[in-house]
Protein backbone atom coordinates (compact mmCIF):
# COMPACT_ATOMS: atom_id res chain seq x y z
CA UNK A 1 0.00 0.00 0.00
CA UNK A 2 2.86 2.38 0.82
CA UNK A 3 4.33 1.58 -2.58
CA UNK A 4 0.98 2.50 -4.13
CA UNK A 5 0.81 5.83 -2.32
CA UNK A 6 4.38 6.75 -3.27
CA UNK A 7 3.61 5.80 -6.86
CA UNK A 8 0.61 8.11 -7.05
CA UNK A 9 2.43 10.94 -5.31
CA UNK A 10 5.17 10.80 -7.96
CA UNK A 11 2.55 10.92 -10.72
CA UNK A 12 0.66 13.83 -9.14
CA UNK A 13 3.89 15.77 -8.65
CA UNK A 14 4.96 15.57 -12.28
CA UNK A 15 1.56 16.24 -13.80
CA UNK A 16 0.75 19.18 -11.49
CA UNK A 17 4.20 20.63 -12.10
CA UNK A 18 3.75 20.36 -15.81
CA UNK A 19 0.29 21.86 -15.69
CA UNK A 20 1.04 24.69 -13.32
CA UNK A 21 4.21 25.74 -15.12
CA UNK A 22 2.35 25.78 -18.43
CA UNK A 23 -0.65 27.57 -17.07
CA UNK A 24 1.34 30.09 -15.06
CA UNK A 25 3.49 30.90 -18.07
CA UNK A 26 0.45 31.54 -20.31
CA UNK A 27 -1.86 33.21 -17.82
CA UNK A 28 0.88 35.28 -16.22
CA UNK A 29 1.74 36.63 -19.66
CA UNK A 30 -1.89 37.53 -20.30
CA UNK A 31 -2.24 39.21 -16.92
CA UNK A 32 0.77 41.38 -17.68
CA UNK A 33 -0.23 42.13 -21.28
CA UNK A 34 -3.86 43.21 -20.76
CA UNK A 35 -3.01 46.38 -18.76
CA UNK A 36 -0.39 47.21 -21.42
CA UNK A 37 -2.96 46.90 -24.24
CA UNK A 38 -5.27 49.13 -22.23
CA UNK A 39 -2.55 51.73 -21.75
CA UNK A 40 -1.89 51.82 -25.49
CA UNK A 41 -5.66 52.11 -26.17
CA UNK A 42 -5.73 48.88 -28.17
CA UNK A 43 -8.57 47.73 -25.92
CA UNK A 44 -10.60 49.54 -23.28
CA UNK A 45 -10.89 48.55 -19.59
CA UNK A 46 -14.19 46.75 -20.15
CA UNK A 47 -12.72 44.63 -22.89
CA UNK A 48 -9.69 43.99 -20.68
CA UNK A 49 -11.97 42.80 -17.91
CA UNK A 50 -13.81 40.54 -20.37
CA UNK A 51 -10.53 38.97 -21.55
CA UNK A 52 -9.41 38.35 -17.97
CA UNK A 53 -12.88 37.13 -16.99
CA UNK A 54 -12.85 34.58 -19.81
CA UNK A 55 -9.92 32.80 -18.13
CA UNK A 56 -11.10 33.65 -14.60
CA UNK A 57 -8.00 35.72 -13.97
CA UNK A 58 -7.66 38.50 -11.47
CA UNK A 59 -6.27 41.87 -12.43
CA UNK A 60 -2.72 42.24 -11.20
CA UNK A 61 -2.50 45.21 -8.91
CA UNK A 62 0.55 47.37 -9.51
CA UNK A 63 3.05 46.59 -6.82
CA UNK A 64 3.21 49.35 -4.24
CA UNK A 65 6.53 50.65 -3.10
CA UNK A 66 7.84 48.96 0.00
CA UNK A 67 6.92 51.01 3.05
CA UNK A 68 10.17 51.10 5.01
CA UNK A 69 8.52 52.50 8.15
CA UNK A 70 6.04 49.64 8.13
CA UNK A 71 8.77 47.03 7.64
CA UNK A 72 11.04 48.51 10.29
CA UNK A 73 8.34 48.84 12.95
CA UNK A 74 7.23 45.28 12.24
CA UNK A 75 10.76 43.88 12.47
CA UNK A 76 11.37 45.94 15.63
CA UNK A 77 8.21 44.56 17.24
CA UNK A 78 9.13 40.99 16.34
CA UNK A 79 12.68 41.45 17.70
CA UNK A 80 11.45 42.85 21.02
CA UNK A 81 8.79 40.13 21.35
CA UNK A 82 11.27 37.34 20.62
CA UNK A 83 13.75 38.97 23.02
CA UNK A 84 11.20 38.92 25.84
CA UNK A 85 10.36 35.28 25.15
CA UNK A 86 14.09 34.45 25.28
CA UNK A 87 14.35 36.39 28.54
CA UNK A 88 11.54 34.25 30.00
CA UNK A 89 13.22 31.09 28.70
CA UNK A 90 16.54 32.00 30.36
CA UNK A 91 14.73 31.71 33.72
CA UNK A 92 16.76 34.48 35.31
CA UNK A 93 16.23 34.05 39.04
CA UNK A 94 17.58 37.30 40.45
CA UNK A 95 14.12 38.77 40.06
CA UNK A 96 11.53 36.81 42.12
CA UNK A 97 8.95 34.93 40.09
CA UNK A 98 5.96 37.02 41.24
CA UNK A 99 7.76 40.29 40.43
CA UNK A 100 8.62 38.96 36.97
CA UNK A 101 4.98 37.98 36.39
CA UNK A 102 3.61 41.36 37.47
CA UNK A 103 6.27 43.16 35.43
CA UNK A 104 5.64 41.27 32.19
CA UNK A 105 1.85 41.51 32.63
CA UNK A 106 2.09 45.27 33.16
CA UNK A 107 4.33 45.70 30.11
CA UNK A 108 1.94 43.56 28.04
CA UNK A 109 -1.12 45.62 28.97
CA UNK A 110 0.73 48.89 28.50
CA UNK A 111 1.92 47.80 25.04
CA UNK A 112 -1.62 46.76 24.14
CA UNK A 113 -2.90 50.16 25.18
CA UNK A 114 -0.14 51.91 23.20
CA UNK A 115 -1.06 49.79 20.16
CA UNK A 116 -4.66 50.91 20.48
CA UNK A 117 -3.63 54.51 21.06
CA UNK A 118 -1.45 54.75 17.97
CA UNK A 119 -3.94 52.84 15.84
CA UNK A 120 -7.10 54.77 16.72
CA UNK A 121 -6.45 57.79 18.92
CA UNK A 122 -3.38 59.37 17.34
CA UNK A 123 -3.59 60.11 13.64
CA UNK A 124 -0.85 59.03 11.23
CA UNK A 125 0.74 56.25 13.31
CA UNK A 126 -1.29 53.29 12.09
CA UNK A 127 1.78 51.20 11.20
CA UNK A 128 3.32 51.71 14.61
CA UNK A 129 -0.03 50.91 16.24
CA UNK A 130 -0.36 47.65 14.28
CA UNK A 131 3.18 46.59 15.20
CA UNK A 132 2.57 47.39 18.87
CA UNK A 133 -0.58 45.27 18.87
CA UNK A 134 1.50 42.41 17.48
CA UNK A 135 4.12 43.07 20.15
CA UNK A 136 1.46 42.97 22.87
CA UNK A 137 0.29 39.61 21.50
CA UNK A 138 3.85 38.29 21.64
CA UNK A 139 4.23 39.63 25.19
CA UNK A 140 1.03 37.81 26.12
CA UNK A 141 2.67 34.59 24.91
CA UNK A 142 5.67 35.44 27.09
CA UNK A 143 3.39 35.94 30.10
CA UNK A 144 1.70 32.57 29.61
CA UNK A 145 5.07 30.85 29.09
CA UNK A 146 6.42 32.45 32.26
CA UNK A 147 3.49 31.23 34.37
CA UNK A 148 3.91 27.77 32.83
CA UNK A 149 7.59 27.85 33.70
CA UNK A 150 7.05 28.99 37.31
CA UNK A 151 4.65 26.11 37.93
CA UNK A 152 6.70 23.58 35.92
CA UNK A 153 3.90 22.78 33.48
CA UNK A 154 5.42 19.87 31.52
CA UNK A 155 6.11 20.13 27.78
CA UNK A 156 3.46 17.45 27.21
CA UNK A 157 0.97 20.21 28.08
CA UNK A 158 2.46 22.79 25.73
CA UNK A 159 -0.75 22.50 23.71
CA UNK A 160 -2.51 24.21 26.63
CA UNK A 161 0.04 27.04 26.61
CA UNK A 162 -0.53 27.47 22.86
CA UNK A 163 -4.29 27.56 23.29
CA UNK A 164 -4.14 30.08 26.14
CA UNK A 165 -1.82 32.18 24.00
CA UNK A 166 -3.85 31.95 20.79
CA UNK A 167 -7.44 32.36 21.92
CA UNK A 168 -7.22 35.70 23.75
CA UNK A 169 -5.41 37.39 20.84
CA UNK A 170 -8.18 36.51 18.37
CA UNK A 171 -10.30 39.57 19.39
CA UNK A 172 -7.33 41.83 18.52
CA UNK A 173 -6.96 40.13 15.14
CA UNK A 174 -10.67 40.40 14.36
CA UNK A 175 -11.92 43.62 15.94
CA UNK A 176 -8.76 45.67 15.37
CA UNK A 177 -8.32 44.25 11.83
CA UNK A 178 -4.72 43.38 12.58
CA UNK A 179 -3.26 41.13 9.89
CA UNK A 180 -0.07 40.33 11.83
CA UNK A 181 -1.97 39.14 14.88
CA UNK A 182 -4.33 37.15 12.66
CA UNK A 183 -1.32 35.36 11.12
CA UNK A 184 0.18 34.77 14.59
CA UNK A 185 -3.10 33.37 15.95
CA UNK A 186 -3.54 31.13 12.88
CA UNK A 187 -0.02 29.74 13.27
CA UNK A 188 -0.53 29.20 17.01
CA UNK A 189 -3.79 27.31 16.43
CA UNK A 190 -2.02 25.12 13.88
CA UNK A 191 0.76 24.30 16.39
CA UNK A 192 -1.85 23.78 19.12
CA UNK A 193 -3.68 21.21 17.00
CA UNK A 194 -0.43 19.35 16.29
CA UNK A 195 0.62 19.27 19.97
CA UNK A 196 -2.87 18.37 21.17
CA UNK A 197 -3.16 15.47 18.73
CA UNK A 198 0.33 14.14 19.44
CA UNK A 199 0.19 14.44 23.23
CA UNK A 200 -3.38 13.40 23.93
CA UNK A 201 -4.05 10.84 21.16
CA UNK A 202 -7.58 12.24 20.91
CA UNK A 203 -9.33 13.67 17.84
CA UNK A 204 -9.32 17.47 18.09
CA UNK A 205 -12.76 18.50 16.80
CA UNK A 206 -12.35 21.96 18.30
CA UNK A 207 -9.65 22.93 15.80
CA UNK A 208 -11.81 22.79 12.63
CA UNK A 209 -14.69 24.41 14.54
CA UNK A 210 -12.51 27.36 15.57
CA UNK A 211 -11.02 27.71 12.10
CA UNK A 212 -14.32 27.42 10.22
CA UNK A 213 -16.27 29.66 12.59
CA UNK A 214 -13.76 32.36 13.53
CA UNK A 215 -10.54 32.34 11.56
CA UNK A 216 -11.62 31.74 7.96
CA UNK A 217 -14.64 34.09 7.91
CA UNK A 218 -12.43 36.89 9.25
CA UNK A 219 -9.55 36.17 6.87
CA UNK A 220 -11.34 37.06 3.65
CA UNK A 221 -8.80 39.70 2.67
CA UNK A 222 -5.84 38.17 4.47
CA UNK A 223 -4.29 35.75 2.00
CA UNK A 224 -1.38 34.53 4.19
CA UNK A 225 -3.64 33.93 7.15
CA UNK A 226 -6.22 32.15 5.02
CA UNK A 227 -3.56 29.91 3.49
CA UNK A 228 -2.10 29.04 6.94
CA UNK A 229 -5.55 28.02 8.15
CA UNK A 230 -6.31 25.98 5.04
CA UNK A 231 -2.92 24.23 5.28
CA UNK A 232 -3.64 23.61 8.97
CA UNK A 233 -6.95 21.96 8.09
CA UNK A 234 -5.36 19.75 5.45
CA UNK A 235 -2.64 18.73 7.93
CA UNK A 236 -5.37 17.99 10.50
CA UNK A 237 -7.00 15.75 7.91
CA UNK A 238 -3.65 14.08 7.19
CA UNK A 239 -3.14 13.25 10.90
CA UNK A 240 -6.44 11.37 10.75
CA UNK A 241 -4.85 8.76 8.45
CA UNK A 242 -2.35 7.89 11.19
CA UNK A 243 -4.64 8.27 14.20
CA UNK A 244 -7.74 6.73 12.57
CA UNK A 245 -10.10 9.68 13.14
CA UNK A 246 -12.46 9.15 10.19
CA UNK A 247 -15.19 11.52 11.39
CA UNK A 248 -12.75 14.35 11.96
CA UNK A 249 -11.34 13.92 8.44
CA UNK A 250 -14.87 13.92 7.03
CA UNK A 251 -15.77 17.04 9.00
CA UNK A 252 -12.71 18.94 7.73
CA UNK A 253 -13.29 17.80 4.14
CA UNK A 254 -16.98 18.71 4.11
CA UNK A 255 -16.21 22.10 5.69
CA UNK A 256 -13.65 22.92 3.02
CA UNK A 257 -16.07 21.95 0.26
CA UNK A 258 -18.81 24.11 1.76
CA UNK A 259 -16.36 27.02 1.97
CA UNK A 260 -15.52 26.60 -1.70
CA UNK A 261 -19.21 26.72 -2.57
CA UNK A 262 -19.53 29.94 -0.58
CA UNK A 263 -16.31 31.58 -1.83
CA UNK A 264 -15.92 30.24 -5.34
CA UNK A 265 -13.21 32.65 -6.32
CA UNK A 266 -10.76 30.93 -3.97
CA UNK A 267 -9.73 27.70 -5.71
CA UNK A 268 -7.49 26.71 -2.80
CA UNK A 269 -10.60 25.57 -0.93
CA UNK A 270 -11.36 23.13 -3.74
CA UNK A 271 -7.80 21.75 -3.85
CA UNK A 272 -7.72 21.44 -0.06
CA UNK A 273 -11.20 19.86 0.04
CA UNK A 274 -10.26 17.32 -2.63
CA UNK A 275 -7.02 16.41 -0.85
CA UNK A 276 -8.82 16.20 2.46
CA UNK A 277 -11.45 13.83 1.03
CA UNK A 278 -8.61 11.63 -0.25
CA UNK A 279 -7.17 11.57 3.29
CA UNK A 280 -10.65 10.74 4.55
CA UNK A 281 -10.98 7.70 2.30
CA UNK A 282 -7.49 6.52 3.37
CA UNK A 283 -8.57 6.96 7.02
CA UNK A 284 -11.81 5.10 6.32
CA UNK A 285 -9.72 2.25 4.94
CA UNK A 286 -7.38 2.18 7.95
CA UNK A 287 -10.39 2.04 10.29
CA UNK A 288 -12.48 -0.52 8.38
CA UNK A 289 -10.10 -2.52 6.26
CA UNK A 290 -12.72 -4.87 4.90
CA UNK A 291 -15.34 -2.26 4.03
CA UNK A 292 -14.94 -0.46 0.69
CA UNK A 293 -15.83 3.24 0.96
CA UNK A 294 -18.50 3.77 -1.68
CA UNK A 295 -19.62 6.99 0.04
CA UNK A 296 -16.41 8.58 -1.28
CA UNK A 297 -17.92 8.67 -4.77
CA UNK A 298 -20.52 11.26 -3.69
CA UNK A 299 -18.14 14.09 -2.69
CA UNK A 300 -15.69 13.14 -5.43
CA UNK A 301 -18.51 13.32 -8.01
CA UNK A 302 -19.41 16.81 -6.74
CA UNK A 303 -15.77 17.92 -6.80
CA UNK A 304 -15.26 16.51 -10.30
CA UNK A 305 -18.36 18.38 -11.47
CA UNK A 306 -17.16 21.64 -9.87
CA UNK A 307 -13.67 21.14 -11.31
CA UNK A 308 -15.09 20.95 -14.84
CA UNK A 309 -17.69 23.64 -14.31
CA UNK A 310 -15.26 26.16 -12.83
CA UNK A 311 -12.36 25.04 -15.05
CA UNK A 312 -9.94 24.31 -12.23
CA UNK A 313 -7.31 22.43 -14.26
CA UNK A 314 -4.91 21.37 -11.50
CA UNK A 315 -7.68 19.93 -9.40
CA UNK A 316 -8.60 17.45 -12.12
CA UNK A 317 -5.27 15.69 -11.56
CA UNK A 318 -5.99 15.52 -7.84
CA UNK A 319 -9.47 14.07 -8.55
CA UNK A 320 -8.03 11.41 -10.86
CA UNK A 321 -5.40 10.45 -8.30
CA UNK A 322 -8.10 10.37 -5.61
CA UNK A 323 -10.29 8.08 -7.68
CA UNK A 324 -7.39 5.74 -8.41
CA UNK A 325 -6.42 5.61 -4.73
CA UNK A 326 -10.04 4.85 -3.91
CA UNK A 327 -10.17 2.11 -6.57
CA UNK A 328 -7.03 0.49 -5.16
CA UNK A 329 -8.20 0.72 -1.55
CA UNK A 330 -11.57 -0.77 -2.50
CA UNK A 331 -9.92 -3.64 -4.37
CA UNK A 332 -7.63 -4.19 -1.39
CA UNK A 333 -10.67 -4.34 0.91
CA UNK A 334 -12.34 -6.90 -1.36
CA UNK A 335 -9.05 -8.85 -1.41
CA UNK A 336 -9.17 -8.94 2.40
CA UNK A 337 -12.77 -10.16 2.33
CA UNK A 338 -11.97 -12.99 -0.12
CA UNK A 339 -8.58 -13.79 1.42
CA UNK A 340 -6.25 -12.78 -1.43
CA UNK A 341 -2.82 -11.37 -0.75
CA UNK A 342 -1.42 -8.21 -2.34
CA UNK A 343 0.30 -8.99 -5.65
CA UNK A 344 2.62 -6.29 -6.97
CA UNK A 345 2.33 -7.31 -10.64
CA UNK A 346 -1.48 -7.35 -10.52
CA UNK A 347 -1.35 -3.97 -8.83
CA UNK A 348 0.89 -2.33 -11.47
CA UNK A 349 -1.03 -3.86 -14.39
CA UNK A 350 -4.27 -2.49 -12.93
CA UNK A 351 -2.77 1.03 -12.73
CA UNK A 352 -1.58 0.71 -16.32
CA UNK A 353 -5.04 -0.30 -17.52
CA UNK A 354 -6.62 2.51 -15.50
CA UNK A 355 -4.20 4.90 -17.20
CA UNK A 356 -5.34 3.59 -20.58
CA UNK A 357 -9.01 4.14 -19.69
CA UNK A 358 -8.17 7.72 -18.68
CA UNK A 359 -6.30 8.21 -21.96
CA UNK A 360 -9.33 7.01 -23.94
CA UNK A 361 -11.52 9.45 -21.97
CA UNK A 362 -9.04 12.11 -23.15
CA UNK A 363 -9.45 11.04 -26.78
CA UNK A 364 -13.25 11.11 -26.46
CA UNK A 365 -13.13 14.52 -24.75
CA UNK A 366 -11.01 15.85 -27.60
CA UNK A 367 -13.34 14.44 -30.25
CA UNK A 368 -16.32 16.03 -28.52
CA UNK A 369 -14.40 19.23 -27.83
CA UNK A 370 -14.74 18.99 -24.06
CA UNK A 371 -12.39 20.88 -21.77
CA UNK A 372 -9.29 19.34 -20.23
CA UNK A 373 -8.86 16.58 -22.83
CA UNK A 374 -5.08 17.12 -22.77
CA UNK A 375 -4.97 16.56 -18.99
CA UNK A 376 -6.75 13.22 -19.34
CA UNK A 377 -4.43 12.23 -22.17
CA UNK A 378 -1.17 13.31 -20.50
CA UNK A 379 -2.17 11.84 -17.13
CA UNK A 380 -3.34 8.55 -18.64
CA UNK A 381 -0.28 8.30 -20.85
CA UNK A 382 2.11 8.99 -17.97
CA UNK A 383 0.46 6.40 -15.74
CA UNK A 384 0.49 3.74 -18.41
CA UNK A 385 4.05 4.53 -19.49
CA UNK A 386 5.49 4.55 -15.95
CA UNK A 387 3.77 1.24 -15.16
CA UNK A 388 5.07 -0.39 -18.33
CA UNK A 389 8.54 1.01 -17.65
CA UNK A 390 8.51 -0.47 -14.12
CA UNK A 391 7.36 -3.82 -15.46
CA UNK A 392 10.12 -3.86 -18.08
CA UNK A 393 12.65 -4.61 -15.30
CA UNK A 394 13.19 -8.31 -14.73
CA UNK A 395 13.84 -7.58 -11.04
CA UNK A 396 10.34 -6.11 -10.74
CA UNK A 397 8.71 -9.17 -12.28
CA UNK A 398 10.76 -11.44 -10.01
CA UNK A 399 8.93 -9.90 -7.03
CA UNK A 400 5.70 -11.48 -8.23
CA UNK A 401 7.13 -14.90 -9.11
CA UNK A 402 5.43 -17.72 -7.28
CA UNK A 403 2.77 -15.46 -5.81
CA UNK A 404 -0.83 -16.42 -6.16
CA UNK A 405 -2.82 -14.29 -8.60
CA UNK A 406 -5.05 -11.86 -6.75
CA UNK A 407 -8.40 -12.63 -8.36
CA UNK A 408 -9.96 -9.42 -7.11
CA UNK A 409 -7.35 -7.31 -8.92
CA UNK A 410 -7.66 -9.66 -11.89
CA UNK A 411 -11.42 -9.02 -12.00
CA UNK A 412 -10.73 -5.31 -11.68
CA UNK A 413 -8.39 -5.51 -14.69
CA UNK A 414 -11.04 -7.33 -16.74
CA UNK A 415 -13.59 -4.69 -15.76
CA UNK A 416 -11.27 -1.91 -16.92
CA UNK A 417 -10.65 -3.72 -20.21
CA UNK A 418 -14.43 -4.05 -20.70
CA UNK A 419 -14.84 -0.32 -20.05
CA UNK A 420 -12.07 0.40 -22.54
CA UNK A 421 -13.64 -1.77 -25.25
CA UNK A 422 -17.08 -0.21 -24.72
CA UNK A 423 -15.67 3.33 -24.91
CA UNK A 424 -13.73 2.60 -28.10
CA UNK A 425 -16.75 0.84 -29.70
CA UNK A 426 -19.01 3.76 -28.85
CA UNK A 427 -16.55 6.19 -30.38
CA UNK A 428 -16.00 4.04 -33.46
CA UNK A 429 -19.71 3.77 -34.20
CA UNK A 430 -19.88 7.56 -34.14
CA UNK A 431 -17.12 7.63 -36.76
CA UNK A 432 -14.54 9.44 -34.71
CA UNK A 433 -11.65 7.04 -35.39
CA UNK A 434 -11.10 7.64 -39.06
CA UNK A 435 -7.81 9.46 -39.43
CA UNK A 436 -4.23 8.20 -39.34
CA UNK A 437 -3.46 9.78 -35.96
CA UNK A 438 -6.42 7.97 -34.37
CA UNK A 439 -5.24 4.65 -35.84
CA UNK A 440 -1.77 5.24 -34.39
CA UNK A 441 -3.18 6.02 -30.94
CA UNK A 442 -5.39 2.94 -31.10
CA UNK A 443 -2.42 0.80 -32.14
CA UNK A 444 -0.42 1.98 -29.10
CA UNK A 445 -3.40 1.24 -26.86
CA UNK A 446 -3.84 -2.20 -28.40
CA UNK A 447 -0.15 -2.98 -27.94
CA UNK A 448 -0.26 -1.86 -24.32
CA UNK A 449 -3.43 -3.88 -23.75
CA UNK A 450 -1.89 -7.05 -25.20
CA UNK A 451 1.31 -6.51 -23.20
CA UNK A 452 -0.64 -6.11 -19.99
CA UNK A 453 -2.75 -9.18 -20.71
CA UNK A 454 0.42 -11.25 -21.20
CA UNK A 455 1.85 -9.88 -17.94
CA UNK A 456 -1.37 -10.67 -16.16
CA UNK A 457 -1.75 -14.23 -17.39
CA UNK A 458 1.73 -15.56 -18.21
CA UNK A 459 3.70 -17.04 -15.32
CA UNK A 460 6.92 -16.99 -17.41
CA UNK A 461 9.45 -14.34 -16.40
CA UNK A 462 10.94 -14.20 -19.88
CA UNK A 463 7.60 -13.72 -21.65
CA UNK A 464 6.57 -11.00 -19.20
CA UNK A 465 9.82 -9.04 -19.56
CA UNK A 466 9.71 -9.39 -23.34
CA UNK A 467 6.10 -8.17 -23.47
CA UNK A 468 6.76 -5.08 -21.32
CA UNK A 469 9.88 -4.17 -23.33
CA UNK A 470 8.08 -4.67 -26.62
CA UNK A 471 5.32 -2.32 -25.45
CA UNK A 472 7.94 0.31 -24.54
CA UNK A 473 9.51 0.13 -28.01
CA UNK A 474 6.07 0.34 -29.63
CA UNK A 475 5.29 3.40 -27.47
CA UNK A 476 8.49 5.06 -28.70
CA UNK A 477 7.91 4.25 -32.39
CA UNK A 478 4.24 5.29 -32.34
CA UNK A 479 5.12 8.53 -30.55
CA UNK A 480 7.64 9.37 -33.29
CA UNK A 481 5.13 8.62 -36.08
CA UNK A 482 2.33 10.41 -34.25
CA UNK A 483 4.57 13.45 -33.79
CA UNK A 484 5.22 13.58 -37.53
CA UNK A 485 1.54 13.00 -38.36
CA UNK A 486 0.26 15.68 -35.97
CA UNK A 487 3.27 17.94 -36.66
CA UNK A 488 3.72 18.14 -32.92
CA UNK A 489 7.39 18.41 -31.99
CA UNK A 490 6.68 17.66 -28.30
CA UNK A 491 5.11 14.28 -29.16
CA UNK A 492 7.99 13.49 -31.51
CA UNK A 493 10.56 14.47 -28.86
CA UNK A 494 8.76 12.31 -26.28
CA UNK A 495 9.11 9.35 -28.67
CA UNK A 496 12.87 9.82 -29.06
CA UNK A 497 13.11 10.35 -25.30
CA UNK A 498 11.34 7.05 -24.59
CA UNK A 499 13.57 5.29 -27.08
CA UNK A 500 16.74 6.72 -25.49
CA UNK A 501 15.49 5.87 -22.01
CA UNK A 502 14.72 2.33 -23.11
CA UNK A 503 18.22 1.80 -24.54
CA UNK A 504 20.01 3.32 -21.52
CA UNK A 505 17.91 1.36 -19.02
CA UNK A 506 18.33 -1.96 -20.75
CA UNK A 507 22.06 -1.39 -21.23
CA UNK A 508 22.55 -0.67 -17.51
CA UNK A 509 20.14 -3.45 -16.59
CA UNK A 510 22.23 -6.02 -18.47
CA UNK A 511 25.66 -4.51 -17.81
CA UNK A 512 25.11 -4.24 -14.04
CA UNK A 513 25.31 -8.00 -13.80
CA UNK A 514 28.74 -8.08 -15.51
CA UNK A 515 31.89 -8.34 -13.42
CA UNK A 516 33.85 -5.78 -15.42
CA UNK A 517 31.77 -2.68 -14.73
CA UNK A 518 34.35 0.03 -15.49
CA UNK A 519 34.80 -0.97 -19.14
CA UNK A 520 31.06 -1.46 -19.46
CA UNK A 521 30.31 2.08 -18.28
CA UNK A 522 33.06 3.71 -20.39
CA UNK A 523 32.01 1.91 -23.57
CA UNK A 524 28.35 2.38 -22.72
CA UNK A 525 28.84 6.09 -22.12
CA UNK A 526 30.53 6.51 -25.49
CA UNK A 527 27.80 4.59 -27.29
CA UNK A 528 25.03 6.55 -25.57
CA UNK A 529 26.74 9.88 -26.27
CA UNK A 530 27.00 8.99 -29.96
CA UNK A 531 23.40 7.81 -29.96
CA UNK A 532 22.32 11.05 -28.30
CA UNK A 533 24.09 13.16 -30.94
CA UNK A 534 22.59 11.05 -33.73
CA UNK A 535 19.05 11.22 -32.29
CA UNK A 536 19.30 14.95 -31.66
CA UNK A 537 20.41 15.54 -35.27
CA UNK A 538 17.55 13.43 -36.59
CA UNK A 539 15.08 15.16 -34.30
CA UNK A 540 16.17 18.60 -35.47
CA UNK A 541 15.93 17.52 -39.11
CA UNK A 542 12.37 16.20 -38.68
CA UNK A 543 11.21 19.26 -36.71
CA UNK A 544 12.76 21.54 -39.35
CA UNK A 545 10.92 19.60 -42.05
CA UNK A 546 7.67 19.95 -40.08
CA UNK A 547 8.14 23.71 -39.94
CA UNK A 548 8.84 23.89 -43.68
CA UNK A 549 5.70 21.85 -44.40
CA UNK A 550 3.67 24.30 -42.33
Partner 1 sequence: MNKKIILFLVILLWIVLALAMIISKQSTFKTGKAVVLETVPVDPRDLLRGDYVVLRYKISTLDLNQIKSEKMDYRAGEAIYVKLEPKGKFWEPTAVQSKRSSDNGIYIRGKVRHTYSKQLTVIYGIESYFVPEGEGKELERNTRGSKSSVSVEAIVDSGGNALIKKVYIDKNR
Q: Of 53 and 168, which has the nearer Cβ to partner 1?
A: 168
Smallest distance from partner 1 to CB 249, Å: 20
Q: What is the 3-state secondary structure (H, E, C) of 431-490?
A: CCCCCHHHHHHHHHHHHHHHHHHHHHHCCCHHHHHHHHHHHHHHHHHHHHHHHHHHCCHH
Smallest distance from partner 1 to CB 108, Å: 7
Q: How far, in Å, CA of 462 to CA of 43, rounded?
A: 65
How many residues are given for the chain? Answer: 550
Task: By CB under 8 A, tell whether 394 contacts partner 1.
Answer: no
Interface with partner 1 by CB under 8 A: which range of 166-174, 233-241, 253-261, 537-545?
A: 166-174
Smallest distance from partner 1 to CB 149, Å: 5
Interface with partner 1 by CB under 8 A: which range of 2-10, 142-150, 423-431, 530-538?
A: 142-150
Burial of 156 (0-12, 13-18, 19+ CB in 10 A): exposed
Q: How many Cβ atoms from other residues are within 10 Å of residue 379's Cβ?
A: 27
Smallest distance from partner 1 to CB 341, Å: 31
Binding partner 1 (rule: CB under 8 A), the pick from 156, 290, 428, 460 is 156
- Identify the CA nearest to 261 among candidates 303, 205, 222, 233: 303
Task: By CB under 8 A, tell whether 101 contacts partner 1.
Answer: yes
Smallest distance from partner 1 to CB 118, Å: 12
Binding partner 1 (rule: CB under 8 A), the pick from 109, 437, 473, 500 is 109
Task: By CB under 8 A, tell whether 205 contacts partner 1.
Answer: no
Smallest distance from partner 1 to CB 93, Å: 5
Smallest distance from partner 1 to CB 98, Å: 9
Task: By CB under 8 A, tell whether 122 contacts partner 1.
Answer: no
Give backbone dihedrals phi and psi of 530, rounded to 5 degrees, phi first.
Answer: -60, -45
Binding partner 1 (rule: CB under 8 A), the pick from 202, 209, 223, 422 is 202
Smallest distance from partner 1 to CB 101, Å: 7
- Given CA atoms 394, 398, 399, 403 in this order, what sign does their dihedral have? positive
Q: Of 149 and 407, which has the nearer Cβ to partner 1?
A: 149
Binding partner 1 (rule: CB under 8 A), the pick from 171, 217, 301, 525 is 171
Radius of gyration for the alpha carbons in the chain, expressed in angstroms and rounded? 30
Task: By CB under 8 A, tell whether 185 contacts partner 1.
Answer: no
Task: By CB under 8 A, tell whether 344 contacts partner 1.
Answer: no
Q: How far, in Å, CA of 271 to CA of 321, rounded?
A: 12
Q: Alpha helix (H) ranges present in 268-406?
A: 268-287, 297-309, 313-338, 344-367, 373-391, 394-399
Could you give the count of Cα atoms lying within 13 Å of 274 in the half-sphere of its Cβ? 25
Per CB under 8 A, which of residues 515..534 are in contact with partner 1? Answer: none
Task: By CB under 8 A, tell whether 95 contacts partner 1.
Answer: no
Q: How far, in Å, CA of 428 to CA of 33, rounded?
A: 43
Binding partner 1 (rule: CB under 8 A), the pick from 128, 147, 270, 274 is 147
* Cα end-to-end distance, the chain, whole Å: 49
Smallest distance from partner 1 to CB 128, Å: 16
Q: How far, in Å, CA of 439 to CA of 434, rounded?
A: 7
Task: By CB under 8 A, tell whether 111 contacts partner 1.
Answer: no
Could you give the count of Cα atoms lying within 13 Å of 236 in the half-sphere of its Cβ? 33
Smallest distance from partner 1 to CB 218, Å: 14
Binding partner 1 (rule: CB under 8 A), the pick from 73, 108, 111, 131 is 108
Q: Cα–Cα distances in Å, from 91 out to 44, 135, 136?
A: 65, 21, 21
Task: By CB under 8 A, tell whether 242 contacts partner 1.
Answer: no
Q: Could you give the dihedral angle defined by the CA atoms of residues 228, 229, 231 and 237, in that order, rounded to the nearest 10 degrees?
A: 160
CB 445 within 8 A of CB 360: yes
Q: How far, in Å, CA of 146 to CA of 80, rounded?
A: 16
Smallest distance from partner 1 to CB 157, Å: 7
Binding partner 1 (rule: CB under 8 A), the pick from 3, 55, 79, 113 is 113
Interface with partner 1 by CB under 8 A: which range of 171-179, 392-400, 417-425, 486-494?
A: 171-179
Binding partner 1 (rule: CB under 8 A), the pick from 168, 301, 459, 525 is 168
Q: Of 181 and 257, which has the nearer Cβ to partner 1?
A: 181
Burial of 433 (0-12, 13-18, 19+ CB in 10 A): middle
- Identify the CA nearest to 80 among candidates 43, 33, 131: 131
Task: By CB under 8 A, tell whether 184 contacts partner 1.
Answer: no
Q: Of 157 and 263, which has the nearer Cβ to partner 1?
A: 157
Binding partner 1 (rule: CB under 8 A), the pick from 2, 66, 68, 90 is 90
Interface with partner 1 by CB under 8 A: which range of 163-171, 245-253, 387-395, 410-418?
A: 163-171
Binding positions for partner 1, rule: CB under 8 A: 89-93, 101, 105, 108-109, 112-113, 116, 120, 140, 143-144, 147-157, 164, 168, 171-172, 175-176, 200-202
Amino acid sequence: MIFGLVFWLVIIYFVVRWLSSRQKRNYGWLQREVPLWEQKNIINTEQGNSVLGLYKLKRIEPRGKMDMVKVLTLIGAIFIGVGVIFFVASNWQRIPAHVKTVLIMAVTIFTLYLGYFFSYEKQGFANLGNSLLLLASLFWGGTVALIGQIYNIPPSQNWLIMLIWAFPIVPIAIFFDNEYVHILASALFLIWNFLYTVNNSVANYYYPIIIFLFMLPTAKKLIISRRINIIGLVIASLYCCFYKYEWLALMVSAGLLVYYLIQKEEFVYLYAGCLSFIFWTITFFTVRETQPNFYFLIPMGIILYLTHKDRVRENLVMCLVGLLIWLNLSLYSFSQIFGYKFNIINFIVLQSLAGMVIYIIGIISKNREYAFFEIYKVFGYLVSFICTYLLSFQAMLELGVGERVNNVYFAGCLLLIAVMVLLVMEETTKGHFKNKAAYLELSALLAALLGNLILLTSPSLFTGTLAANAVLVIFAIINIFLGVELKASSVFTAGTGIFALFIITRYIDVGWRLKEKSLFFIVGGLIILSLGVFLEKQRRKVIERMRQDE
